[in-house]
Amino acid sequence: MIRKRSRIERQLIIFGSAFGTTAELVRGTWRSGSGRKWMIPLIIFLCLNGLLLTLAAGVEVLAPFVYSIF
Amino acid sequence: MDDPVRALLACPACGGALGSDWRCNRCGAGYAASEGIPSLRLAGDARTEAVREFYTEAPFPGYPRDADLNWLRARARRSRFARMLDDAIPADARVVEIGCGTGQMSLYLARANRIVIGADLTRASLLLAVEAAGRFGIDGAHFIETNLARPGLRPGAFDVVYCSGVLHHTPDPRKSFAQVVQLARPGGMIVLGLYNAFARIPLRLRRAVARLTGGWWIPGDPVLNDRAAEPARRDAWRRDQYHHPEEHRHTLAEVRGWFAENGVEYIRTFPSALLAEEGDGLFAPEAGGWRFEEWLAQIGWMRSLGPEGGLFVIVGHRIGA
């Protein structure tokens, strides 16, 4: 039986693996010799943004009615 | 107005007790009370007066034409926040709502043996509140006209101080918060609703589009759509959200700072500032304080709270009991 993980667990797994994946991508680009080293800051920026958005998506979407209750 | 209710009020000029003729027992100042609303308001500064005139023109949020007690309860029960607030307040609590507007939340909370006082700057709004209280048969809610800068309320008299959607419309929200705290008894709860700096971004974008099109197009406002059949309430929402003369926005960290300055212990926020978790009770302390997680939660509020203006609630209790 496949155990279903909670949302926070899934996000922690993404969080934990994201840095390794980003580092591998940066290392590969650095070693490739294809003259694309200039892309490294962009890769880091985009990966961190992706991580941020993934975590922010973990916030429960409530029906509103906090301000417009009545 | 009964004596137990009058005992919760005070002279806005000196803080003295008020007699049955609405005269201050200490300084002798007299106040008028007509149409069931004591006027304990001293003149405010120009910015506060501008806000008062703004709401006098269009009381907010107003009532649908056929509103009755069932309507009020149905509207409140669809809101998880309103249910949690009602469940958390003891049946015999003394509650004050600062900036009650047209009084819906005060009327909703005025059940069992609670004494609820709704205070507002704008008489036009309070008249609608008093009229609704009579129509709904609610006698546990009382309304007063007062200015938060010099409130006609006895300091330290209330078990729960509820103030939502108000401080961000005052000239100095931090200073106003200090006034709000004074009203709670030591150990009393403070429930504060404010525009969040992140969650408000979607509305600010909609507002920018509205301004660029001269108000002709306001994209994707679900509250406006919901009120399509109620022109007066639709217009009140449009004015409040898109044309308000005074508006501030705040982060959770900033408000936590206000709490620390004023001897208020942080309890929790609504929605929760913890990722993927939602505590059970509104007055139940929630772990947290990891700054990074709170920032992420606030970014997430753009999606959950953004559609209705980005107001979040922060709860604390006054230290001292």
Structural domain includes residue B126 = yes
Same domain, B80 and B224: no
The rounded percent of chain B whose pLDDT value lies above 90 is 83
Q: Who has greater pLDDT, B314 or A21?
A: B314
Q: How far is A67 from chain B (nearest CA, A)?
A: 6
Q: Which of B219, B241, B263 is the last residue of a domain?
A: B241
Q: What's the sign of the alpha-carbon dihedral B10, B16, B18, B24?
A: negative
State the Cα–Cα distance between residues B142 and B126, nearest whole angstrom.
Answer: 10
pLDDT tens for A33-62 read 778 888 889 988 888 888 777 766 655 555
Nearest CA in chain A to B72: A70
The pair of structure tokens assigned to B169 is 């419309």
**Cβ atoms within 10 Å, residue B9:** 25
CATH of residue B71's domain is 3.40.50.150
Same domain, B230 and B305: no
Q: Taking residues B230-241, what's their average pLDDT? A: 92
State the Cα–Cα distance between residues B89 and A46, nearest whole angstrom.
Answer: 46
State the Cα–Cα distance between residues B206 and B204, nearest whole angstrom.
Answer: 5
- Using CB atoms within 10 Å of the CB of residue B242, give its burial: 0 to 12 exposed, 13 to 18 middle, 19+ buried: middle
Q: Does A14 touch chain B (CB under 8 A)?
A: no
pLDDT tens for B63-87 read 998 899 999 999 999 999 999 999 9
Same domain, B155 and B53: yes
Nearest CA in chain A to B198: A56
B→A contacts (Cβ < 8 Å), by residue, are 61, 72, 75-76, 78-82, 104-105, 164-165, 193, 222-223, 226, 237, 270-272, 275-278, 296-297, 299-301, 303-305, 307-309, 311-313
Same domain, B110 and B256: yes
Structural domain includes residue B100 = yes
Instruction: Quote the DSSP letter at residue B11.
Output: -
Structural domain includes residue B13 = no
Please report which helix (H) or strand (E) contains residue B267, including its range: strand B264-270
Same domain, B66 and B81: yes
Domain carrying residue B229: 202-241
Structural domain includes residue B84 = yes
Chain A / chain B CB contacts < 8 angstroms: 92
- Asked whether the ipTM of the predicted complex exceeds the cut of 0.90, the reply is no
**Cβ atoms within 10 Å, residue B143:** 28
State the Cα–Cα distance between residues B215 and B250, nearest whole angstrom.
Answer: 26
Same domain, B222 and B148: no
Structural domain includes residue B6 = no
Instruction: Quote the DSSP letter at residue B99.
Output: T
